[in-house]
Amino acid sequence: MPDEEKKEVEEVVEEAAEAIEDAKEEIAVAEEAVEKAEKVVEEIKKDEKPEPSGKFKDLIKQIEELSVIELSELVKELEVRFGVSASAPVAAAGSVPAAGGSVPEEEEKSAYNIVLTSAGSNKIGVIKAIREVLPDLGLKEAKDMAEGAPIAVKENVKKEEAEAAKEKLVAAGATVELQ
């Protein structure tokens, strides 16, 4: 075999070896993606709830199909319709100073709203953190909430609970404000 042909064969073999290495890397990335997808599917299966029963079965099914935004709108409509509030009552702090005293410069708030301003780049982690903060929330609702930022995650909570929730969400990569 002439030298020129040997060089051509060697170059082809070298290119094939590089292509095989590239393919191995792509396979590894694909396998990792499959593992992540399988974990998400497992999480979804764990969150499945039993079928509703009783006279409100159809209503419960309809509510389950609503997005977080639609649920929020439904709650507002019900509040207006029945003249009630879904939020926990907060006692008003007295602002009348004692005789001879003065009003403190700034009183510490007794209730906070936890507002998710951005889910960041780690949405899966943020969704899991939202579900830790709101354990009754389904996976779809938590996902809708993460994608619907800015949105109130929890309202009228004590300072300690608000800070703990903020810490979990921030650790997962979210941007959170306490209001």
Q: What are phi and psi of 5, to 5 degrees?
A: -70, -40
Find all residues with CB under 8 Å of 87, minimum gap 6, and list them.
155, 156
- Adjacent-strand bridge partners of 127: none
Q: What is the predicted pLDDT for the residue at 52?
A: 76
Question: pLDDT digit string (tens) for 119-149?
Answer: 888 888 899 999 999 888 888 888 888 888 8
Q: 122 versus 105: which is more confidently predicted?
A: 122
C-alpha–C-alpha distance, residues 151 and 147, integer Å = 9
Share above pLDDT 70 across residues of the chain, in percent, rounded to a whole number? 83
Say if residue 91's pLDDT is above 50: no
Q: What is the predicted pLDDT for the residue at 31?
A: 86
Kindly state the DSSP code that residue 135 receives in the 8-state scheme.
T
Q: By C-alpha distance, which of 167, 161, 172, 72 is closest to 119?
A: 172
Q: What is the predicted pLDDT for the residue at 90?
A: 47
Q: What is the predicted pLDDT for the residue at 87?
A: 58
75-105 in b/e form (b: 16+ CB < 10 A) is eeeeeeeeeeeeeeeeeeeeeeeeeeeeeee
Q: 46 versus 156: which is more confidently predicted?
A: 156
Burial class (CB in 10 A: 0-12, 13-18, 19+), 172: buried
Q: 24 versus 91: which is more confidently predicted?
A: 24
C-alpha–C-alpha distance, residues 116 and 137, integer Å = 15
Question: pLDDT digit string (tens) for 11-66?
Answer: 889 888 888 988 888 888 888 888 888 887 777 666 666 777 788 888 888 888 88
Q: Is pTM beyond 0.85 here?
A: no
Q: 49 versus 166: which is more confidently predicted?
A: 166
Say if residue 93's pLDDT is above 50: no
Biggest CA-to-CA distance, the chain: 110
31-60 in b/e form (b: 16+ CB < 10 A) is eeeeeeeeeeeeeeeeeeeeeeeeeeeeee
Rounded alpha-carbon distances, angstroms, from residue 156 to 41, 94, 166: 33, 18, 14
Q: What is the predicted pLDDT for the residue at 94?
A: 46
- Mean residue pLDDT across the chain: 80
